[in-house]
Amino acid sequence: MIPEGCVAECRGCSHREMTMSESLLQKFEFVRGKLSDWADLVEPVHSVTDKNCWGYRDKTTLSARFDGVEWQLGMWRRDEFIPIPYCPIHSPRLNGLLNAIRQAIPKSQSFALAYIVVSGAQVVLVIKSKQKPNVNWLNCQLVKELESFGVEGLWYHLNPSTGRRIFEKSGWHLIWGKPRSVDYNGLIYGPAAFQQLIPELYNQSLDLAEQFLQPSNHVAVVDLYCGTGNSMLRWVRQGASVIGVELGGEAVECARINVPDATVLRGACRHRVPQVRDWVNEKRMEGKSVVLYVNPPRTGLEVEVLDWIIAEGKPDRIAYLSCSPGTLSKNISYLAQNGYDVVRCIPFDFFPQTHHVETLVLLQKC
């Protein structure tokens, strides 16, 4: 039995017909299988209570399609569009907000809506056109409704070639409200920045990383793939010297405001290895020990980063938060063959009902 309201054809939540215990057991076994060399170190999955395992998503990206009468939001599966008028893992706010926007936008194919992206209080209408649509549809009543759903910024993002890549660097137009909002940890974010979904679990993972890395004024922390700075803020608060690297321009801009005491470099980590190397050498000269926190996308650590870690960086401790047990396994095997011991493997259920599982691995220099 699929949950009430759930669209049968949607494949987003492959665990939706399992109990929470079944789902967590499957995730645990999956991580143990991928990290088979350290299977005995894999701890039970940290999760939320049964009550909080639905309605937890406050951000989403849905495709849009005009069916000749109205706009539908949902997902494409090959050439078939699957409308998702309501999703039980979305928060009630998110479901209500999506429906309000869907009904308010012009009922015409020429509006060219390709996606709606909701990131907390920021909402983006991705328009597959070079032409900015007018905003006549955005009346006072709708603005009041958006405010009641906690929306603080509404954007057009013009992306004529949008496909798999939803956002381009240019084409951003704020059509109502303010461009930045503040997240659950008090950090500024924008419409494109990455954010974890379940604050209590994410903060638990950061607590464990912090306990292990022991940031202090004797320590220098390298924080790679640092996003808007949630982790860096912790290290700085403990007195550590911090350098972060992040690819997303908007996230870098926010991180620099959120953690003014950290050095934040913009670019791909593999391209910033030389600057990170110089910074680390300088901190070592000041007598600080070096530790590393990494939270890469599912592609894992870039080879240049791995090579820097083992050849020169040589951090005393590494906390690696990963959303892909497959790339995590490859990366930690390489580190284990080159001077690191895996100390703990802690899976987190950041995405209940789905097959996704996040894992924090703690490594110590042998």
Ligand X SMILES: C[S@@+](CC[C@H](N)C(=O)[O-])C[C@H]1O[C@@H](n2cnc3c(N)ncnc32)[C@H](O)[C@@H]1O
* Chain contacts with ligand X (rule: CB under 6 A): 194, 196, 225-228, 230-231, 245-248, 251, 268-269, 295-297, 302
Q: How far is the CB of 194 from ligand X (least distance, A)?
A: 4
Q: Do the annotations mark residue 202 as ligand-binding?
A: no
Q: Which is nearer to ligand X, 112 or 223 (CB)?
A: 223
**Edge-to-edge order in the sheet of strand 241-246:** 263-266, 241-246, 219-224, 289-294, 317-322, 358-365, 340-348
Among residues 6, 226, 254, 323, the one annotated as catalytic is 323
Q: Which is nearer to ligand X, 74 or 248 (CB)?
A: 248
Q: Which is nearer to ligand X, 120 or 248 (CB)?
A: 248
Q: How far is the CB of 300 from ligand X (least distance, A)?
A: 10
Q: How far is the CB of 324 from ligand X (least distance, A)?
A: 10
Q: How far is the CB of 293 from ligand X (least distance, A)?
A: 8
Q: Do the annotations mark residue 295 as ligand-binding?
A: yes
Q: Which is nearer to ligand X, 54 or 189 (CB)?
A: 189
Q: Which is nearer to ligand X, 203 or 214 (CB)?
A: 203
User: In DSSP terms, which residues pair with 154 in a beta bridge?
Assistant: 123, 176
Q: Which is nearer to ligand X, 290 or 319 (CB)?
A: 319
> Three-class SS string for the chain?
CCCCCCCCCCCCCCCCCCCHHHHHHHHHHHHHHHCHHHHHHECCCECCCHHHCCCCECEEEEEEEECCCCEEEEEEECCEEEECCCCCCECHHHHHHHHHHHHHCCCCHHHCEEEEEEECCEEEEEECCCCCCCCCCCCHHHHHHHHHCCCCEEEEEECCCCCCCCCCCCCEEEEEECCCEECCCCCEECCCCCCCCCHHHHHHHHHHHHHHHCCCCCEEEEEECCCCCHHHHHHHHCCCEEEEEECCHHHHHHHHHHCCCCEEEECCHHHHHHHHHHHHHHHHHCCCEEEEEECCCCCCCCHHHHHHHHHHHCCCEEEEEECCHHHHHHHHHHHHHCCEEEEEEEEECCCCCCCCCEEEEEEEEC
Instruction: Verify whether residue 269 is a known catalytic residue.
Output: no
Q: Do the annotations mark residue 246 as ligand-binding?
A: yes
Q: How far is the CB of 19 from ligand X (least distance, A)?
A: 28
Q: How far is the CB of 203 from ligand X (least distance, A)?
A: 11
Q: Do the annotations mark residue 103 as ligand-binding?
A: no
Q: In this chain, which residue has its C-beta nearest to ligand X?
A: 227
Annotated binding-site residue numbers for S-adenosyl-L-methionine = 196, 225, 246, 295
Catalytic residue set: 323
Annotated binding-site residue numbers = 196, 225, 246, 295
